[in-house]
Amino acid sequence: MKPLLSLVDINKYFGDVHVLKDISFTIEQGEFLTLLGPSGCGKTTLLRCIAGLETVNSGDILLGGRSIKGIAPNKRNVNTVFQNYALFPHLNVYDNVAYGPRVRKAMREVDLKKRVGDVLDLVQMVGYEKRLPHQLSGGQRQRIAIARALINEPAILLLDEPLGALDLKLRKHMQTELAHLQKKTGTTFVYVTHDQEEALNMSDRIVVIDGGEVQQLGTPRDIYNNPSNLFVTTFIGDRNIMQVEVVEIGDTHSKVKLGDHIVSIRSPHKQPLQAGKPAIMAIHMDKMRVSCDPVPNALQGEVRSIHYAGSQIRIELSVDHKAITVVEYQKTECECREGDLVFIAWEEHGAILLSLEESWLEGEI
Ligand code: ATP
């Protein structure tokens, strides 16, 4: 099947600054795809290039197989929802939502009335037609901004941090609502966020971007469990990152040395590992377990401090003079005490071995 949207070798400069570097990937019809990366990595610029609000210096953008590079934003069959919603302050909810079809003279008022009713129903805002934007809460304004975009039935809805202005509770609620809405309408969503949890919760696939380059593209599960490089490893999930020495390389697992310990760790990627050379062992904090009794394939360390924080226990330890953190859930009491020498094991899939990239100096780890 032909992809809905193809980005082909996109490069974008602002003056001398190379903001997007050889970006290539495709987006399928009906997909919820998230562009995820730290502030300044180029997510918004890429979204704006797709919207036609920025021009690319080289490369092509194909919608349904046809280049849209030279086509004006309002002729592209894509709509954007911005973080600040950009509602017309002097128009009520009904007129805000009806704005697009009216400008395009797309339908008669009587048909428009039904259509506005349908999209307001979709975003659960029926009954608010006469309110002005300032008479709505942040979450309600956000829903109207989405309704105003959806009424145009765009091939793709572009969303630039649309939940950024909401408080945490409402943000979580809207995440679920947005994901449902996307599945219900079947509209293709391209969503920008710097919030990994939001991306992992909502997306079918995630494009992780850093420094204007795609670092990894995959399902949330794949990106969480199998980061392809050190950037993704440190950016997604809370992990302990430890420099180790490679002892023996296997197909799926390798043996590594950390201080006096030799342990086996999952090494599924085709990483350029070399026996005798340093590498990075990365383990999710919440996939590690602390035990007073010896357990196989474990590190040994000293308990430095124990913090009881609601549903979780955070245990700070020292392993080979390096600080690591273990987060345990579903326990009310830690079986060890500060100062104890303990064994630290982990769930196999929570750990991964990566080659040490040159840019990662010893001091950074
Ligand atoms: P954030 O999460 O903070 O919004 P982002 O990943 O969306 O960040 P962009 O807004 O795409 O990042 O910006 C990428 C880079 O391009 C940044 O270094 C930014 O300063 C620069 N930039 C963005 N817009 C312009 C512009 N109009 N002129 C010059 N530089 C720009």
Q: What's the confidence (pLDDT) of residue 110?
A: 84
Report CA(190)–ligand 1 centroid distance (Å).
Answer: 18
Q: What's the confidence (pLDDT) of residue 308?
A: 86
Instruction: Name which of 140, 125, 122, 224 is nearest 183 in CA terms.
Output: 122
List strands edge to edge, sheet with 17-27.
Answer: 17-27, 5-14, 58-63, 66-67
Q: What's the confidence (pLDDT) of residue 164?
A: 80
Ligand 1 atom closest to the Cα of residue 45 is 11
Q: Which residues contact 29 (CB under 8 A, 6 or more apart)?
A: 1, 3, 4, 188
Return the residue whose CA atom lies nearest to atom 18 of ligand 1.
40
Phi-psi region of 216 (alpha: psi -120 to 50; beta: other; left: phi over 0): beta
Ligand 1 atom closest to the Cα of residue 44 is 7
Report how far residue 211's alpha carbon sits from residue 23's, in angstroms, rounded to the nearest whole number: 11
Report CA(358)–ligand 1 centroid distance (Å).
Answer: 27
Return the residue whose CA atom lies nearest to atom 14 of ligand 1.
42
Question: What does the pLDDT average to over 219-236?
Answer: 92
Band (359; pLDDT cuts 50, 70, 90): low
Q: What's the confidence (pLDDT) of residue 114?
A: 92
Residues touching ligand 1 (Cβ under 6 Å) are 14, 19, 37, 39-45, 194
Q: Which residues contact 239 (CB under 8 A, 6 or more apart)?
A: 233, 282, 283, 284, 285
Report CA(40)–ligand 1 centroid distance (Å).
Answer: 5
Q: Indicate the residue type of 222.
A: D
What does 48-95 look like in DSSP terms, one character per residue?
HHHHTSS--SEEEEEETTEE-TTS-GGGSSEEEE-TT----TTS-HHH
pTM: 0.88
Report CA(17)–ligand 1 centroid distance (Å).
Answer: 10
Q: Indicate the residue type of 175.
A: Q
What percent of the chain lies above the pLDDT cut of 90? 61
Question: What does the pLDDT average to over 226-251?
Answer: 91
* Rounded (10°) angle between helices 93-103 and 138-150: 20
Band (2; pLDDT cuts 50, 70, 90): confident
Ligand 1 atom closest to the Cα of residue 42 is 11
Question: Residue 180 is inside which H or E element, if any?
Answer: helix 168-185
